[in-house]
Structure 1
Amino acid sequence: MPGFDHRSYLKTVTESPGVYRMFDKDAQVIYVGKANNLKNRLSSYFQTNISRKTSHLVAAITRIEVTIVNSEVEALILERELIAQYRPKYNVLLRDDKSYPYLLISSDEFPRISSHRGKTNPKKGQFFGPYPNTAALYHFLEMAQKLFKLRNCSNSFFANRSRPCLQYQIQRCSAPCVGRISSDDYHQDVLSLVQLLEGRNNTLQATLIDKMESASSNQEYEKAAEYRDALGYVSSLVEKQFVVTDKGSADVIACAIDKGIAALYVLRIRSGKIMSPEVLYPKIRLGQEASEVIKTYLLEIYNPTTNNDAPAEIIISHGLEEKEAIESVIKSAYGRHIPLLSSVKTQRRAWLSIAEKSAQASVSSKADSFSQHASRFEAFLSALNITDECVEKVSCFDVSHTFGEETVASCVVFDKDGPNKKLYRTYNIKTAKKSDDYGAMKEVFERHFNNNSNLANVVIVDGGKGQLSQAIKACKDAQIEVQLLGVAKGEGRKAGLERLYRYNAATDLIDEISIPPTDKVHHFIQSIRDEAHRFAITTHRRKRDKKRVGTTLEEIPGIGKAKASLLLNHFGSVKKIKTLSPQELTRVKGISLAVAEKILSYLKG
């Protein structure tokens, strides 16, 4: 698993219900899913008998984050909200017309009950939900009619009745249209239904339980089963969920500390919905309290320079001694009072509970991850027979460019705690010829070894013997002694088949070394190599795209004015062309499959 040790990760996962987000090497969310048991669900992705689509997804994972909720219903709803926000490429996107339904009690003089999909407008009446279990909602509506005899007909049908309809005859409506029930009595029935939906009236559930037990005692097992199913439908509708409401604007911040590691879990609630949960791992000093971590975060984030969207309130997991002073700072930044709340109830308490549980799960996973990083780091040094205790860092280099354009080299550094991003470096290649990877490596090593006093003792090169030779030459020229390794892509570029090379200074030769694909050492090498690749390509794309403002198709090697004109006339814009497949581009005269692939490779990088 390139860049992701799933075996180690799964040891740290909770069995609670929740939602998980899978990230790729570019830190993009590629899949959102939900589970009643996160550990079991995530484990299922790494079995041997998975589908082809799932295997492609798993191969792209570099990180997984979870949000812990209180029930499977909340997980279902949060999953849908996050899919709509992130639009992950491996998710089958839910369309608007397939949104979860609500139960609507209309605001008419004699309210009607019905299901409702889409946006909720308070002027239309009271909305309850959304309900992921659509079948349960429809069964509940049937039972509500039987019990409360509320109308479900349209307003036009209701206004034109002169006598009761069939619903009255079968005792599913009290016929308010023709005055068979007073307004006060009808509204009392509506109130009873509202109390039931809000969990304030258990009469219906108690009645169903009595009927189920009575039918079972009389050996009427089919009837008992019907009452059992009805009870299930009612329970699923009455179950309170706190993930999505119709109002609320808050930032919810929870902090958890474990083994000297802090995790801040941030939920942003806007219009009652959880927006893009975020987990942060700030550096803390020994003995630092969670309240101090939250205070630092508040002062860094809520100030005039950050230009953040300010919520109506900020809910925090730990109380602050300087609460009023911090509120004053935030007020000066946004021009209005934004209260800091730590003692909260009901809906706010539920939001805070989600953040607290998720923060605790995140910090536990991170602490275990640090322990695993240290284990892999030590195993790597041991495999190379490096016993020098002063070896604290390992660096890895990679080069990225698009047909020689804007060539960039990256240097990433790992220590026993994992990536040390403060020591990351990028190098703009200045003297090497375009598309000359060896020349680029030569330049970057010469600059790195001659102008860097904080060198790693072990250097890994993303490449084979040719790239490694450039590092060897630069080391000799700079009279520096470091351990040098190369990682060459394996057959078919498949993970686990990489070839590893090591420079033997005693013989002045490059030896190929063998390490089992499942070994901790191999996982360490894959992780640092993939991180170097990610850092290089991200920096290159940012630099290239900045220069490409106004780029035309004519700048693509081999594409002249004639072909560029044909492509733009056929598809309308470069932006549209980027979204197409090579096969679609071949519809244009003169564009072969090879040329189409070259065009898309250039545009997408």
Structure 2
Amino acid sequence: MAISELLKNKLALLPDQPGCYIMKDKKGKILYVGKAKVLKNRVRSYFHGVHDNKTTRLVSKIHDFEFIVTGSEKEALLLEINLIKKNHPPFNIMFMDDKSYPYIVMSKEPFFTVRMTRQIRRSTDEVFGPYPSAQSCFDIVRLINRIFPVRKCKSMPKTPCLYYHMHQCLGPCFQTVDLKQNEEMRKQIRRFLQGDPGWIRKQVQEEMERASQTMAFERAQEYYEILQSIDHVMEKQTIDLKDRKVRDVFGFYADKGYISLQGFFLRSGQIIERTFTIQELYEEPMDAFLSFIVQYYQENMIPTEILVPEGTPVEVLEDVLDCHVRIPQRGTKRSLVEMVLKNAKEAHDQKFELTLRKDQDLQAANAKLNSIFDKPIHTVEIFDNSHIQGAFNVSGLVVYEDGKPDKSQYRHYKLDTYRSDVDSMKEVLYRRYFRLLSEEKSMPDLLLVDGGAQQIQAAKAIKEGLGLDLCIAGLVKDERHTTRALMNEDLQEIPLDKKEPLFFLLTRMQDEVHRYVITYHRKLRSQSMTRSALDMVEGIGPKRKKELLRKFKSMKQIKAASIEELETVLPRRTAQVLYAHLHPGEKS
């Protein structure tokens, strides 16, 4: 490919040092962030030689680049991770799994608490996990708090609470407690959470049998379910390392321009498998692998030991993560790494065909869109309005980047008094693009309106009034309200083949913006109904309204409540007035 003079001059200035490079498109948007031991060699490699289709697609979009020199490869890796987290470049491998595992935390205070959390904040606390199931984790915490009289309150009260009177707390808030007894309790809990349920399981078993003998079957069932939770969390796996270290195992498999990453997490003999989604690959597989591991540990607890496959730069990971990283050569640990690698390959093989087909369809749809407008179309914005006879007039905007939704750019708008759909369209477009202009942000390549000639004319009026540089098109529907064509700014219809990828892409866009705006519309309507019903009752102010909603969750449940149930929140007279207001014509 031909290289611009700007790129040639910048390539000549690249140093023989480690650092990060930042690839940008013509709008200045960051496309890709990478790290390198030698910046000059790595960055130049993008613009010379033969690449696969995906890398060629990335390179074709690069208009400019920047680089930052670092003192070491470790600094380059950490800087790369921070830049990825900050900018979310579309061509980078990112830790996209939004699932966070539950942990159990035992605080370090003398009179400690035991609780469940998904975010590890205080490094001084003892952390156990992660656990494979939030419900199992919750059950274990509840069991510990029931059997052991540990402190339950987040902050120490000055008077004994209900837990003290139920013999589930030693009451350190108001009386002297034996510290030796307290520390012995901590040791027993730690032993249990480290994988030895021992006498606790026996005690629950005895409680279950005792409850059954006294025909307290509901309580016996509760104990039985707790036993099941203990067994589920503590059960042995096919691989059980005797040292019971907190250990993670990572592996990957790369082929055909895609990479599959996978990890096993060992806690007290329990293997928690985590399969990472297959993603497109625009860099060296090992670079993507390292980046992925470091990103993972920015959100999760670092274990005692990490096992990785042959060829992994162990020193770099140890330096960055400050923990022991090993490449096992034999035995059970070697088998663990091989198992992870095998799972990564199987996941890759199973998902590759479907992922590739989706990717090819997306590329075909984008290519068709480019040809229709005779220019590259990367960013598409589509709007939709919703109202009920002019009331609750709102609009929604969704944004697609290269055919994929970018939810960080979604917006919803409350509009002025309803006059017509065309006026609503003009208002929201003016507000959107006047703001982009005033904040000097880049414009989309294509504005899609959910309608025909009138909506396009409204969009053109705003475009000309603000002097915008973007394409406009409308989605034309048939008598069945199904999209059948695109209409350009000249009001010419471009038929859409319902078997082609572009039709399905536009349909997804249309469904997404409709879902987004309807969800917002319903939310506002629900809030308004709740406000209007409760605000009209004397004696119900903001505080009582909040208490009612906390207690009954919704307006529907408030209406279904009896006067006696309402009295749990309101004075009797106010409860009667509210009940009468919600049930006109009914005798209370």
TM-score normalised by the chain length of structure 2: 0.44
Q: Higher RCO, 1 or 2 (CA under 8 Å, sep at least 6)?
A: 1
